[in-house]
Structure 1
Amino acid sequence: MIETDRLTLRPWLDSDLDDLTAINADPAVYEWLAGPFTREMNAASITRQQAFQTEYGYCYWAMLERVSGRLIGMAGLMPVTFDAGFLPAVEIGWRLSPGFQGRGYATEAAKAALAHGFSRAGLREIVSFTVPHNRASRAVMERIGMRHDPAMDFDHPRLPPGHPLRRHVFYRIQPGQG
């Protein structure tokens, strides 16, 4: 478990399924992702994150607001599991319920995840990527010290040619940067 001033990042519990499903059902959450997530997809995501936590000591953790104890999203680290020109790689990412966006929670969680990745997990590089027009996520990447590497921008292999979200911009950071 990781605690920041306002957040707790912790491994997923099976009992988080209803809250995660509600978060991922909001169009503002999946605007930059490939569509809404079914309950079954959310259950599979929790299982996958639990497995990553067990194997690597990190995952996209459940993000709770400390004051309320409410599940407000996810943030953390995850191995990239699709074929890309930058493998092997560990990605940092975040997703927040709309009522909690724009308050600095993603940046706070991402900084904690970076610290964990570099100090506790011993990673030498962490990457992130999003669609070019996702200015909010790109701003978080830049606030935590990541740098855009245009030479590594790519078409996401899990999205079909012509899909409006296929093109991704690529960011990276190494220990001591930022």
Structure 2
Amino acid sequence: MVDVLADPALYSFIGGTPPTLAELRTRYTRLVAGSPDDRQQWLNWIIRRRPDGRAVGTVQATVTDDGTRAEIAWVVGTAFQGQGYATAAAAALVGWLDGRGVRTIVAHVHPDHTASAAVAQRAGLRPTDRFDDGERLWVRAADVPS
């Protein structure tokens, strides 16, 4: 994952800088341990391409509200963008969460990040008029009032 997340351009919209191996080990150790808040569950996967299993990115969800709400995110390394990995992973995650009774699914997308907005749309989310920390909130269409 260090190589997948190494390109500084990857952080143009999400902020931050490429993590070192030590930083990733610390982050992944914390994620595997789970949330310190027993009212939320952290779910994290590495996106792998077929057939070789090479890591291309991550997808994650933070589930709250007794399992009825999730905030999701995806990151795909720049070398693997535009190949459908984020769309496939985000759509699979939304379907997986839906199958477990999660009713509200939210993603935060920078308003200028058209590729991520397209991923959100293809995963069944739609934009709202709400913003959080400069990012537009996208919500699964069934949960957005008409």
TM-score (norm 2): 0.80
1:8 is aligned to none
C-alpha contact (below 8 Å) 1:77/1:90 kept by paired residues: yes
Tell me if 1:100 matches 2:67.
Answer: no
AA aligned to 2:124 is: G
Deviation at 1:42, TM superposition (A): 1.8
Which stretches of structure 1, 4 residues or more, deviate above 4 A after TM superposition? 55-58, 174-177
Q: How many residues align?
A: 137
Q: How far apart are residue 141 of structure 1 and its match?
A: 0.7
Q: 1:149 aligns with which of 128, 131, 135?
A: 128
Q: CA deviation at 1:97?
A: 1.4
* Letter aligned with residue 138 of structure 1: A
Percent identity reads 30
CA distance in 1, matches of 2:41, 2:141: 19
Query: What does the per-residue CA deviation read over 1:33-88, in whole Å, with 9 as the maximum and x for residues that have no partner?
Result: 222133243223312332349x77762311111211111110132248xxxxxxx9
1:128 to 107, 126, 135: 107
Give the gaps of 5 or more residues in structure 1.
1-19, 81-87, 156-166
Residue type at the aligned position of 1:70: R
- Look up the match of 1:71: 55
What residue in structure 2 maps to residue 12 of structure 1? none
- When normalised by structure 1's length, the TM-score is 0.67
**In 1, are the aligned partners of 2:104 and 2:143 still within 8 Å (CA)?**
no
Q: Distance in 1 between matches of 2:25 and 2:70?
A: 22
User: Within 5 A, what are the aligned runs for 1:1-178?
Assistant: 20-39=1-20, 40-52=22-34, 59-79=43-63, 89-120=69-100, 122-150=101-129, 152-155=130-133, 167-173=134-140
User: How far apart, CA to CA, are the structure 1 residues paired with 2:127 and 2:14?
Assistant: 20
Distance 1:58 1:35 in 2: 20
The Cα shift of 1:148 comes to 0.9
Provide the rounded CA distance (Å) in 1 between the counterparts of 2:121 and 2:139: 10
Please tell me the residue identity of whatever aligns with 1:136.
Answer: A
Equivalent position amino acid for 2:137 in 1:
F
**CA apart distance, 1:118:** 1.1
Q: Secondary structure at the match of 2:13?
A: coil
